[in-house]
Amino acid sequence: MKRSLVLIATLASGIALSAAAQTLTAPAASAPAGPAKIAVIAFQVAVAQTNEGQRNFADLQKKYAPKEAQLKTAGEEIDNLTKQLQAQAEKLSDTERASRAKVIDDKTKQAKRELEDAQNDMNSEMQEMYNALASKVYDALATYAQQQGYTLVLDVAQQQNPVLYASDSTNITKAVIDAYNLKSGVPAPPPVPAGAVKTTPAATRPAAPRAPATH
């Protein structure tokens, strides 16, 4: 059950927003004449770090906080029962030992099932949340790229990254985040109190379905 308790911690830190493969080319009609102008972006980071992404992630954490607390309590109960059984084993009859062991086993299986269900539900909601937000951030990216005259935008956050080198001046991740925040109107989350642990969506996860194709 201790291994299950380790997994429970993922509910506290959140299940990462899934990565979306992004290699975006601006529409040919709006592409300026002359040499190609290339930019790079960490797209999944941009989605996660928008004000809206941070707000939605925090809301999801709050929603699953009661289940996290319940599973933590269940894990502590199982650990206590296990210690009691180990300490009293020699004084118990075979029937009593077997009975207590079965109670522990049943509680462990139930806790694991509930943990898996909670993780699956949270993953599903996180995926839906990401897909919806990624589509909107993509629109902001496409608009920004066209306005700045970029003919190609590459995602540097992909596991199979085709970018071997890029100067900081070509990275438009922060610019796209700012552009989307301005468009969405969602305010920045309040600052984290001193001493508090700030949890944010992880930056890397297995690739999810692609965000909308280029417009």
Residue 176 lies in a domain: yes
- At 162-205, the pLDDT tens digits run 665 566 778 899 999 999 999 999 999 888 776 665 555 544 33
Sign (positive/negative) of CA torsion 105, 111, 113, 116?
negative
More confident residue, 45 or 200: 45
Residue 203 lies in a domain: no
Q: Among all chains, which residue has been given the structure tokens 């077997």? A: 98
Residue 143 lies in a domain: yes
Q: How far apart are CA 161 and CA 188, in angstroms?
A: 30
* pLDDT at 112 > cutoff 90: yes
Residue 116 lies in a domain: yes
Residue 68 lies in a domain: yes
Q: What is the percentage of the chain residues whose pLDDT exceeds 90?
A: 55
Residue 193 lies in a domain: no
Helix 173-184 to helix 51-88 angle (10° resolution) is 100
Residue 32 lies in a domain: yes
Number of H helices, E strands in the chain: 5, 5
> Under 8 Å CB-to-CB from 19, ≥6 apart: which residues?
43, 44, 157, 158, 159, 204, 205, 206, 207, 208
* pLDDT at 128 > cutoff 50: yes
Could you tell me the CA-to-CA distances from 154 to 21, 27, 40, 57 in Å, in that order?
10, 15, 5, 26
* pLDDT at 122 > cutoff 80: yes
Contact predicate 189/51, CB 8 Å: yes
Residue 191 lies in a domain: no
Confidence band, pLDDT 50/70/90 cuts, at residue 104: very high
Confidence band, pLDDT 50/70/90 cuts, at residue 77: very high
Domain count within the chain = 1
> Which helix (H) or strand (E) segment is 20 a member of?
strand 19-20
Which residue range forms the structural domain that includes residue 57?
A: 2-186
Predicted local confidence at residue 20, as pLDDT: 34
* pLDDT at 18 > cutoff 90: no
Q: How far apart are CA 12 and CA 115, in angstroms?
A: 12
